[in-house]
């Protein structure tokens, strides 16, 4: 469910699509295909860093789970009401200066390390949502004793997180363009908003009622 929520978040896929579009326009399809894995690696690196930080700082307790349930209710409200700005397009809650900086970075990234750094910065721009979700994953993963299962579950979560990027890359490779992707994102704005709200509420209810999802 956490991976599903992460897959619903729109900031990183938006930046990725914009980056891919400009990489094709400024360079070539080949260069865009070569650079895009580095952006995704940046996102994976950020997620891994968040997981490691959370795992080393968080200790499971009744109070923590109650606080997390409260945070998820708040995020359900944020996701449902404030995630998208009013008006046309798919403008998000992100502060405008940050959004401009990310879009400018996406327009100008032309090397592997710039794509990687853009991925890292983009990953950190969504910490409002990703840190509570990482705490949730760490709490659940710790209920398994085998380290192999723990690493496997976290790897699965990280993999599911990058599925939207793989879908966008496939869309570009199969003849799609930024206009198609953006139209799809705008068309599904309401659905993403509803999913975010519903899934966060479900997470909060599960945590509050059963202590486990």
Partner 1 sequence: MKTFNEKALKKDLLINAKALGIPSGAARTFADKIVKNVSKTLKNKKIITESDLNRAVLKELNVYNADLAYVYENRDKII
Q: Map the footprint of partner 1 across residues 27-56, applying CB under 8 A.
A: none
Q: Which is nearer to partner 1, 65 or 185 (CB)?
A: 185
Contact between 119 and partner 1 per CB under 8 A? no
Which of 62, 87, 146, 174 is the binder for partner 1 (CB under 8 A)?
87
Residue 198 binds partner 1, judged by CB under 8 A: no
- Residue environment code for 138-177, b if the CB has 16+ CB neighbours within 10 A, otherwise e: bbbbeeeeeeeebeeebeebbeebbebbeebbebbeeebe
Please identify, using beta-carbon distances, which residue of 181 and 204 lies nearer to partner 1.
181
Query: By CB under 8 A, what part of segment 165-184 binds partner 1?
Result: 175, 177-180, 182-183
CB of 208 to partner 1, least distance (A): 32
Choice from 1, 24, 67, 73 touching partner 1 (CB under 8 A): 24
Q: Please identify, using beta-carbon distances, which residue of 56 and 88 lies nearer to partner 1.
A: 88
- In whole angstroms, the minimum distance from the beta carbon of 63 to partner 1 comes to 35
Binding site for partner 1 (CB under 8 A): 10-11, 14-15, 17-18, 21-22, 24-26, 87-92, 94, 99-100, 102-103, 175, 177-180, 182-183, 186
């Amino acid at each position: 469910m956490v991976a599903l929520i992460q897959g619903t978040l729109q900031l990183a896929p938006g930046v990725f699509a914009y980056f891919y579009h400009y990489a094709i326009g400024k360079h070539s399809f080949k260069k865009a295909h070569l650079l895009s894995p580095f952006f995704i690696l940046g996102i994976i690196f950020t997620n891994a860093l968040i997981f490691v930080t959370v795992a080393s700082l968080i200790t499971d307790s009744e109070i923590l789970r109650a606080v997390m349930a409260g945070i998820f209710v708040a995020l359900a409200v944020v996701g449902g009401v404030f995630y998208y700005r009013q008006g046309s397009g798919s403008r998000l809650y992100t502060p405008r200066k940050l959004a401009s900086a990310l879009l400018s970075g996406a327009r100008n990234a032309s090397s592997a390390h710039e794509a990687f750094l853009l991925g890292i910065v983009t990953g950190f721009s969504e910490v409002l949502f990703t840190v509570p979700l990482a705490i949730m994953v760490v709490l659940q993963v710790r209920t398994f004793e085998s380290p192999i299962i723990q690493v496997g579950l976290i790897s699965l979560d990280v993999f599911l997180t990058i599925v939207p990027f793989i879908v966008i890359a496939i869309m570009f490779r199969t003849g799609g363009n930024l206009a198609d992707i953006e139209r799809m994102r705008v068309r599904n704005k309401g659905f993403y908003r509803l999913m975010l709200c519903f899934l966060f509420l479900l997470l909060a209810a599960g945590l509050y009622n059963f202590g486990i999802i």
